[in-house]
Structure 1
């Protein structure tokens, strides 16, 4: 189910499936990087499903100055006494000790629905309180190409699973290409379709994207990891190096030297940037503490970052791979392959390229596909790049 909210300028803000907002769980956590629309989605849901003048519902942002002298538990107690039934908490990562107090709220007022949003770095499994059995966690990614089609062009398409896409890409692409020009729209999306706020100011969009990354590093990462100011400077430098080099196979020792830190610290910085959705790390199939070893390749978190930091000098191969990885990783497990660009769910092999890409790279592999840019419809195991934007 979709949510819409009429904005003051008559435009329509668009957000994705409500997930945790409609969950039967008493406590739900919605995480995502800055700018994907967590706050707007929450406010939309409240305005459409509750009487905003009723004492039974309350929205509060936890960066409010009120919390400098009051506790979250104190708020919940007063709210409950006055008939409160649904408590919506925004920016929870800015409140020290949030997990323990939310656990206490759940234990004290188990009938109260609590929905809270926070940074993509939040982890209910290692938050210092046992929330994993009490809360369900949802991740709100940036807009997919499918959602951009709806938001920008009013073209509604149902999401497609990867297995259905692989089986039916030919008839599906032929049918969809009758109603819009997918290659042209993909070019739009790669440039400014990931964050919904592009509609507010397209001319200033890339500056705002750069500011978003800066705030993620300066505010969101320190709010979730105990680091000092000089470490923030090193993480900024690391991101700058990555932005100028992606996609690449990292030499961790060299990166540590360039950043002015140690190898273990660098791996922790990379982990923090990945959890903040600033970058994508491509690993071999692995379990456990994968950050103890270096990633095989590094990408920026989405294609809009590439344009924000490289302008029109973006590498087209980088854009294609970043797009595929960012779309697939939202719904499937993506891993490094020494034979193709990506292995997905341990069985599908994908090689990415332009319309002239041949079959040489996937010769002899089962469940192998060529993903081609600049084509509208597919043929046999050749799938249009744009179709992977329909996965969520």
Structure 2
């Protein structure tokens, strides 16, 4: 155990050394310093580990970090490891990829209760983990989600310019003065096609994105949903492949059930799993639905469309949904002859610069750099958060 803890200490010092100079501005909104029990979650590659290591590096308290998928701990009880860490004088522990630890929720609950003077921060890739163990942890652990990276953050990481968030429906024109020396459409193209996760700084973005997607489907989801079969994982992969290339952002439920020999309820359940794993965004029309594919289905990460030569129209709408859902509840219009989406009572149409407004209050276009009357640049949505 002493050698294991020493290995954790070496790893932590190495990770501190490789912290990037610029970090996601979103990190500042996560008020975790005075929280004794915290669970950080978000898609793979959004920067959860960087956030946690940075917090440790800048904390006055003595924390130790380790990842639960480390091969050296696979046969050791989590409770025993953390107890030994606390005996070494550490005031807190940070555990990444928590779902890899055997009976992790039982052990974390016991650690939290048995060490009331210690801090326990844990992280994972999906909020399905919360739903699976919510009865044990909801009263003890505060949950924080890290979303995909905004264009505002990308501008900061690549250009060093930090702009305040912008209301796209009431734009402060000062943003155009601040960004006047930047080729905004070129930067936006780079971002939406290969910069929505901070892994872009490591190069080979699309290859890394493909690896993260495969891990999410074939490696993470079976941990969260024990009844998932190999065929179901292949169905999820097929759904993603279809959504990438389809000009119509939805799937044919009956056709897919017949093709894969699935019942409709099972397919709806798979869509639910994909939505709550943040692989897809399901946009529904106003109303309550128990089982539904919604009016439209988009990949949650719009850069997948660019990486895998997908449909550009779907990519535009996927980006609009990704941004808007961080601030609003997004609905599909009841009549698509009126508009694409409704947020906060505002009708929105998404398209190119020649896209007709229909009956929308605002048209969001991807190939204009400044707003003209009620036509808004798509990139401005990337400054919502």
Contact 2:365-2:375 within 8 A present in 1 as well: yes
Of 143, 148, 151, 1:145 maps to 151
Q: Structure 2 vs 1, CA of residues 102 and 247 (structure 1 numbering), >3 Å: closer, same or farther?
A: farther
1:305 aligns to what? Answer: 304
Residue 11 of structure 1 deviates from its aligned partner by 6.4
TM-score, normalized by length of structure 2? 0.87
2:218 aligns to what? Answer: 218
Contact 2:281-2:298 within 8 A present in 1 as well: yes
1:365 aligns to what? Answer: none
Residue 106 of structure 1 deviates from its aligned partner by 1.7
Superposed CA deviations along residues 196-233 of structure 1, whole A, max 9, x for unmatched, are 112222xx321221121111111011111112333322
Secondary structure (helix, strand or coil) at the match of 2:297 reads strand
Map residues 159-178 of structure 1 onto 2, 5 A cutoff.
Answer: 159-160=165-166, 164-169=167-172, 171-178=173-180
2:133 aligns to what? Answer: 127
Q: How many residue pairs get matched?
A: 366
Secondary structure (helix, strand or coil) at the match of 1:360 reads coil
Map residues 73-222 of structure 1 onto 2, 5 A cutoff.
Answer: 73-127=79-133, 129-160=135-166, 164-169=167-172, 171-201=173-203, 204-222=204-222
Task: Give, in whole Å, the separation in 2 of the partners of 1:138 and 1:372.
Answer: 32
Superposed CA deviations along residues 115-149 of structure 1, whole A, max 9, x for unmatched, are 11101233435416331121111111221100110
Of 41, 47, 51, 1:37 maps to 47
Matched, 1:250 2:260: no
2:313 aligns to what? Answer: 317
Residue 286 of structure 1 deviates from its aligned partner by 4.1
Residue 326 of structure 1 deviates from its aligned partner by 0.8
Task: Give, in whole Å, the separation in 1 of the partners of 2:257 and 2:178.
Answer: 47
Secondary structure (helix, strand or coil) at the match of 1:167 reads coil
2:58 aligns to what? Answer: 48
Q: Structure 2 vs 1, CA of residues 96 and 11 (structure 1 numbering), >3 Å: closer, same or farther?
A: closer
Of 58, 80, 93, 2:64 maps to 58
Task: Give, in whole Å, the separation in 1 of the partners of 2:377 and 2:138.
Answer: 39
Note the residue ranges of structure 2 that are not aligned, 5 or more in a row: 1-14
Of 324, 340, 350, 1:352 maps to 350
1:263 aligns to what? Answer: 264
Residue 336 of structure 1 deviates from its aligned partner by 1.3
Task: Give, in whole Å, the separation in 1 of the partners of 2:313 and 2:307.
Answer: 17
Q: Structure 2 vs 1, CA of residues 14 and 247 (structure 1 numbering), >3 Å: closer, same or farther?
A: farther
2:371 aligns to what? Answer: 378
Secondary structure (helix, strand or coil) at the match of 1:332 reads coil
Q: Structure 2 vs 1, CA of residues 301 and 246 (structure 1 numbering), >3 Å: closer, same or farther?
A: farther
Superposed CA deviations along residues 232-256 of structure 1, whole A, max 9, x for unmatched, are 2232223222323254233211122
Task: Give, in whole Å, the separation in 1 of the partners of 2:60 and 2:301.
Answer: 35
Superposed CA deviations along residues 26-66 of structure 1, whole A, max 9, x for unmatched, are 11111111111211221122123257xxxx42111111234
Task: Give, in whole Å, the separation in 2 of the partners of 1:237 and 1:118.
Answer: 25
Aligned-CA RMSD value: 2.4
Contact 2:128-2:277 within 8 A present in 1 as well: no
Note the residue ranges of structure 1 that are not aligned, 5 or more in a row: 363-367
TM-score, normalized by length of structure 1? 0.85
Task: Give, in whole Å, the separation in 2 of the partners of 1:23 and 1:11.
Answer: 21
Secondary structure (helix, strand or coil) at the match of 2:161 reads coil
Contact 1:342-1:349 within 8 A present in 2 as well: yes
Superposed CA deviations along residues 70-116 of structure 1, whole A, max 9, x for unmatched, are 22222232223332211101001222322222222221122211111
